[in-house]
Structure 1
């Protein structure tokens, strides 16, 4: 891609992300379930957000911790964090390339959040990258991973246009085998996405599908939402999600 094409894709992603956030109940509900996790932490010194996006979770959670570190590969989002929150340490990189000593100061963290990030990473790399996060937890600390459930309306939408293969249950099984079931937790919650127009819901659908190639199917995606998710004059899509927690009980 040329620099202009990269900037254009970043702008599209940012617009779609902002539309998704403004049309969703997700962040408020996610803050509640993560709030329960925070209540169980013995310390609240350092918070690490891996793939912070627009910061809708980062900013409110940061108020409960002494220090906040953000790892964000999108240069537009990273620059926005530096401009709006100079008190944060911002690392502009993908998690796989982050160096604990150089980028994170050799610190450990009481809470590490990885919300809707693993979709962008090959499934075969999940265990390794999750282990790198786990190693950065302080004693009593928690890694909180949020992913879409393999069941529900978003999964049905995925299966209509592609293959839904977010292997969160397999990941949970691997982590239980590695760390023990007393350190792993699973919690279900539901987000509702509501828009006033079909065009907005179609944009959100393209955002959820991630790959730009699906823009060629925009008409089919719009028809799908019209047939399955029109409620009166608006559109509603229920997003079933899972919070996977990994505790360092040492």
Structure 2
């Protein structure tokens, strides 16, 4: 997921806004999620399969790099890497630690990449911060920077599974993946759009950590006031020997630009 420097971001409901956690708390939760989940390792395997099918591996664009764990791993397959990361702290980290990367510290809709074209564009868990009515416009901008025979990879939460049930219990948020897939196939063609499904396991040894992970997944700091309810939910449904476990069904959508 991508941080947004504390700025309120629209959810799927145009009349609702997500109140982001303060920067330090968001970073703490993000680090905890990275330590307690298998997501990035599974995601990297699937992305590796996509990359292996590319004709060219010159340029890579990551939209919303987050901790950078996935970004750095994927960058090793490409000659050049560009990052669009609106979080100034994270962008600064990338500039210091990886001076070979080009880093733009602004939101995707604001960035100007000129006529740059990329062989692979990654957008992992970013669309939640954008109103759903702007998703196609957002993806169309990605496509405009996609080189011939290049591929866009979009990772999203599945509308089914244990984390999806948790979402519906507290936030009523439902990721419209089926509608997005249908719109993408109508726009770019059935042969250009593919779907891969994977399951991420999230495990925490303590209730405190599990509640923090639940708040991270819910995105919105307003759920701080429902810590007891979140804890009760996990205690009743996801208590296992040695801690708490919940599975997260996820979807990798890819769009290929034919020559």
Structure 1 residues 19-30: aligned runs within 5 Å:
19-30=32-43
Matched positions, count: 243
1:5 to partner: Cα distance: 7.8
Deviations 1:103-156 (CA, angstroms, capped at 9, x unpaired): xxx310000000000011110100000000011110000000000100000000
Extract structure 1 runs of 4+ deviating beyond 4 A: 4-8
Higher share in helix: 1
- 1:191 maps to 200
Gaps in structure 2 of 5+ consecutive residues: 8-19
Deviations 1:202-227 (CA, angstroms, capped at 9, x unpaired): 10110110011011101110111111
C-alpha distance in 1 between matches for 2:104 and 2:217: 25
Is the CA contact (8 Å cut-off) linking 1:187 and 1:242 kept in structure 2?
yes
C-alpha distance in 2 between matches for 1:175 and 1:48: 20
Corresponding residue to 1:73 among 64, 69, 86: 86
Is the CA contact (8 Å cut-off) linking 2:61 and 2:121 kept in structure 1?
yes
CA-atom RMSD, angstroms?
1.5
Is the CA contact (8 Å cut-off) linking 1:190 and 1:238 kept in structure 2?
yes
Deviations 1:53-112 (CA, angstroms, capped at 9, x unpaired): 0001100100110000000011111111111111110100110111122xxxx3100000
Deviations 1:2-39 (CA, angstroms, capped at 9, x unpaired): xx987970111111001001101110000000000000
Gaps in structure 1 of 5+ consecutive residues: none
- Given the alignment of the two structures, is residue 175 of structure 1 paired with residue 184 of structure 2, yes or no? yes
Corresponding residue to 1:82 among 83, 95, 110: 95
- 1:233 maps to 242
C-alpha distance in 2 between matches for 1:173 and 1:100: 28
Corresponding residue to 2:120 among 111, 114, 138: 111
- 1:222 maps to 231
- The alpha-carbon distance between structure 1 residues 238 and 136, as it changes in their structure 2 partners (threshold 3 A), is same
Is the CA contact (8 Å cut-off) linking 1:150 and 1:164 kept in structure 2?
no
Structure 1 residues 46-65: aligned runs within 5 Å:
46-65=59-78
Is the CA contact (8 Å cut-off) linking 2:168 and 2:174 kept in structure 1?
no
1:163 to partner: Cα distance: 1.0
- Given the alignment of the two structures, is residue 32 of structure 1 paired with residue 45 of structure 2, yes or no? yes
- 1:133 maps to 142
- 2:26 maps to 13
Corresponding residue to 2:221 among 193, 203, 212: 212
Corresponding residue to 1:242 among 240, 246, 251: 251
TM-score, normalisation: structure 2: 0.91
Is the CA contact (8 Å cut-off) linking 1:196 and 1:234 kept in structure 2?
yes
- Other structure's SS at 2:86 match: coil
- Given the alignment of the two structures, is residue 163 of structure 1 paired with residue 172 of structure 2, yes or no? yes
